[in-house]
Amino acid sequence: MELAEKRYRQAIGVARGYGIRRLVVHSGYIPLVYDPSWFLERSAVFWREFLKDFPPDMELCLENVMEEGPEQMTKLAKAVNDPRFRLCLDVGHANAELSHTPVPVWAEQSAPWLSHVHLHNNRGGRDLHAALGDGTAPVRETIETIERLCPAATYTVENMHAAPSVLWLAENGFLKV
C-alpha cells in the first residue's frame, strides 16, 4: 500500500502541474485474490486516510476494472463519504466477461458518485478497447443514462485509434462536428 500511495501522490503532483483537477485510478480489486468484504473495508480505510491530504479542489475517481457489478464500488463511495471521492465508469470493463451487471445498470447505480466515463467496447469477453460501434455494449443507452443522471460527467474515448469512436459519437448525436 505504501508504494501505491507514493505513486498516487506523485500523480497528484503531476496533475497539479498541468492544472488537472480530476484524477482517475483503478480500484485494484482482483477477484479470487481478495475477499470482497475485506477489500471493501481495507480500501475504505486507505482512501479516507489518503484523502486527508488530497487537494480540496481535486476529485479522485475510482475506476471499475474487474468488479462483477457496481455494488462494491458504490459501497466504497458511501463508506469513504468524501465529496472528492468519485467514481469513473469504464463502459468496456463493465461489459467484459467478469461483469454480471448490464452496463446501463452500472451507470444508474453509480450515478450519485459518477464524475467520469471511459468509453470503449468489446464483445462481452476480453477487454478489447474496441471502437464504440464494434461490440455488444449498449453504448447509446449507457450514454443516454449518464447524460440524464450525471450531466456534468466528463468522458474519455479509450481506443488505439479514436476516429471510429468519434465518428460513432457524431453519427449518434452525442458530438456536434
Indicate which CATH number applies to the domain containing 157.
3.20.20.150
Q: Looking at residue 109, what is its pLDDT?
A: 98
CA dist 170 to 40, 41, 88, 115, 151, Å?
Answer: 39, 42, 22, 22, 18
Residue 32 lies in a domain: yes
Q: How many residues does the chain have?
A: 177
Q: Looking at residue 89, what is its pLDDT?
A: 98
Residue 12 lies in a domain: no
Q: What is the DSSP letter of 121?
A: B
Residue 58 lies in a domain: yes
Give the closest residue to 76 by CA, choosing from 49, 43, 123. Answer: 43
Q: Looking at residue 165, what is its pLDDT?
A: 98
**Going residue by residue through the chain (177 aa), what tens digit of pLDDT does each one get?**
789 899 999 999 999 999 999 999 999 999 999 999 999 999 999 999 999 999 999 999 999 999 999 999 999 999 999 999 999 999 999 999 999 999 999 999 999 999 999 999 999 999 999 999 999 999 999 999 999 999 999 999 999 999 999 999 999 999 987
Cell numbers given for 61? 475517481
| 122 Cβ contact list (under 8 Å, min separation 6) | 92, 95, 96, 128, 129, 130, 135, 136, 137
Question: Which pTM does this prediction carry?
Answer: 0.96
Q: Looking at residue 114, what is its pLDDT?
A: 98
Residue 128 lies in a domain: yes
Residue 83 lies in a domain: yes
